[in-house]
């Protein structure tokens, strides 16, 4: 798993020593606040908790999104490697389940990450790139799992998004029980996603094309 700890490689290059220190404190604090309270923590609160003026925060991260994408870069990278691991599993169905279980679990312990996954900023180069890579990998995984006969054939790519949105809903409405609640939802869903050879239930309603960032598209006239 690729990580960002150690000497900051790229973004912090050329910064003065105190600036790097502050930058790290900001990221650390933001990570914690986002995890606890979600993505709409006031910028001023982040600055205050980091023991830093707002100006410093804004100089390092001109927009809230830039802060968010940097904060969750590790987690997004982790998602990619979750998919990679799963692709290495000889049992594609087990791999498929693992991906969903692990990503949902990551969402459950971090309100901010949960929301970030669903919002999934267009324009954040890094994130977009990694997301696409993860999605391609996941597509391959579903292909194999269907071929293998364990995943129902009418599963659509966009159903992953559906699932993550649903999980996000549970996490948003839930406090310390989020992980347990999420696990239970996931268990039901995975059960619904199995190709059962018993009586097939009614045919599935048609798949829905879902972009991971149409959250921003809600009309506010």
Partner DNA sequence: GGTCAAACGGACGGGGTACTCCACTTGGGC
Partner DNA sequence: GCCCAAGTGGAGTACCCCGTCCGTTTGACC
Interface contacts to DNA, rule CB under 7 A: 14-19, 21-22, 40, 42-45, 51-56, 58-60, 62-64
- Can you tell me which of 53, 62, 149, 209 binds a second copy, judged by CB under 8 A? 209
Identify which of residues 7 and 153 has a Cβ nearer to DNA in the complex.
Answer: 7
- Can you tell me which of 2, 21, 37, 143 binds a second copy, judged by CB under 8 A? 37
145 contributes a contact to a second copy by CB under 8 A: no
CA–CA dist 134, 78 (Å, integer)? 10
* Residue 42 binding partner per list DNA, a second copy, none, with a CB distance cut-off of 5 to 8 Å that depends on partner kind: DNA
87 contributes a contact to a second copy by CB under 8 A: no
Q: Count each helix (H run) and each strand (E run) in the chain, helices first.
A: 10, 0
42 contributes a contact to a second copy by CB under 8 A: no
Residue 33: burial class (beta carbons within 10 Å; 0-12, 13-18, 19+)? buried
Identify which of residues 60 and 110 has a Cβ nearer to a second copy in the complex.
Answer: 110
* Residue 190 binding partner per list a second copy, DNA, none, with a CB distance cut-off of 5 to 8 Å that depends on partner kind: a second copy
- Angstrom distances, CA of residue 62 to CA of 4, 53, 66: 21, 14, 7
* Residue 44 binding partner per list DNA, a second copy, none, with a CB distance cut-off of 5 to 8 Å that depends on partner kind: DNA
* Residue 170 binding partner per list a second copy, DNA, none, with a CB distance cut-off of 5 to 8 Å that depends on partner kind: a second copy
- Angstrom distances, CA of residue 41 to CA of 38, 47, 98, 112, 164: 7, 11, 31, 10, 22
* Residue 175 binding partner per list DNA, a second copy, none, with a CB distance cut-off of 5 to 8 Å that depends on partner kind: a second copy
CA–CA dist 192, 200 (Å, integer)? 11
What are the residues whose beta carbons fall under 8 Å from the beta carbon of 123, sequence distance 6 or more?
A: 65
- Angstrom distances, CA of residue 42 to CA of 5, 105, 118, 170, 221: 26, 26, 20, 23, 25
175 contributes a contact to a second copy by CB under 8 A: yes
Residue 49: burial class (beta carbons within 10 Å; 0-12, 13-18, 19+)? middle
202 contributes a contact to a second copy by CB under 8 A: yes
What residues line the site for a second copy (CB under 8 A)? 36-37, 118, 159, 162-163, 165-170, 172-175, 177, 180-181, 183-185, 187-194, 196-198, 201-202, 204-210, 214-215, 217-220
């Amino acid at each position: 798993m690729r990580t960002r700890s150690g000497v900051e490689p790229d973004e912090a290059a050329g910064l003065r020593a105190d600036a790097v220190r502050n930058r790290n404190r900001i990221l650390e604090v933001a990570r914690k606040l986002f995890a606890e309270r979600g993505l709409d923590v006031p910028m001023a609160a982040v600055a205050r908790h980091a023991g830093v003026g707002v100006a410093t925060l804004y100089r390092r991260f001109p927009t809230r999104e830039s802060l968010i994408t940097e904060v969750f870069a590790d987690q997004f990278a982790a998602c990619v490697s979750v998919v990679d691991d799963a692709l290495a599993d000889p049992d594609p169905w087990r791999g498929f389940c693992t991906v969903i279980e692990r990503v949902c679990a990551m969402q459950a312990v971090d309100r901010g990450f949960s929301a970030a996954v669903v919002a999934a900023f267009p324009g954040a180069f890094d994130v977009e790139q990694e997301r696409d890579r993860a999605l391609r990998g996941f597509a391959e995984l579903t292909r194999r799992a269907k071929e293998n006969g364990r995943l129902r054939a009418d599963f659509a790519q966009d159903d992953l998004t559906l699932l993550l949105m649903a999980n996000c809903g549970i996490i948003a409405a839930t406090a310390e029980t989020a992980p347990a609640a999420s696990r239970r939802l996931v268990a039901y869903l995975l059960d619904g996603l199995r190709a059962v050879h018993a009586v097939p239930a009614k045919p599935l309603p048609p798949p829905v094309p879902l972009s991971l960032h149409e959250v921003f598209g809600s009309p506010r006239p």
